Amino acid sequence: MIDQDLNKFNMRTIMNQVEKELGYINQLDSNSAPLNFRNNNDMKSQSLPKPTSAFIGASWAALMLGAGAYLIGLWNADMQLNEKGYYFTLLLFGLFSSVSLQKSVRDKLEGIKVTAIYYGLSWFSLAAAVALLSIGLFNATLALSEKGFYAMAYALCLFAAIAVQKNTRDMAYFADDEPSKALEAELEEEH
């Protein structure tokens, strides 16, 4: 009995510390009622609208358009194979880092613990991907219009990857009709 009370006390202490570190993430909806994003039911019912199929389709179309244009441009470019490999690798690195950053930001928003190291690495990797592309294009012997083409296709890919990841994550909330048992147990312990 004492162990259970001590366990509940430790869980509450940890939760209070996490809340202090992350702060309450509240947002006002159109009715000016505060919403706590940590409550999964609030997210489903009020603060997180289900993405429309038009937005999902537009996100995927933007990703395919950006990646397709970038890759076709690379395929047809008059550059050495190692340069093509560099730009291809930067595309993959940028896509992964943007999705990773979106996930870590969303996890923090939802109150899911994200280590400071991972969060910092996510930001650093996205900044490094963009910086490496910028440096590569600045030093490339390409026409200015080609440099702009690669930069815009890359930016479109990064933005679209974030939108696709957001839609995928949002749809996961609506696919689960009942919350996980671990979340229910945790909520019962708090009350």
Instruction: Return the SS3 of 36.
Output: strand
Helix/strand/coil for 28: strand
Q: What are the angstrom distances between the C-alpha of 162 and each of 70, 87, 100, 149? A: 17, 20, 9, 20
Q: Is the pTM higher than 0.85?
A: no
Q: At residue 5, does pLDDT exceed 80?
A: no
Does the structure show a pLDDT above 90 at 111?
A: no
Each residue's pLDDT tens digit, 147-180? 999 999 999 999 999 999 999 888 887 776 545 5
* Rounded average pLDDT over 54-73: 94
pLDDT at residue 10 in the model: 53
pLDDT digits (tens, 9 = 90+) for 140-153: 999 999 999 999 99
Q: What pLDDT band is residue 126 in, cutting at 50, 70 and 90?
A: very high
Long-range contacts at 51-54 (CB < 8 A, ≥ 24 apart): 51/166, 51/167, 51/170, 51/171
Environment class of 109 (CB within 10 Å of its CB; exposed 0-12, middle 13-18, buried 19+):
middle
Name which of 14-23, 106-115, 148-157 the model is least confident about.
14-23
Taking residues 41-69, what's their average pLDDT? Answer: 81
**Least confident interval from 24-28, 33-37, 94-98:** 24-28
What number of CA atoms fall less than 13 Å from residue 75's CA on the CB side?
6
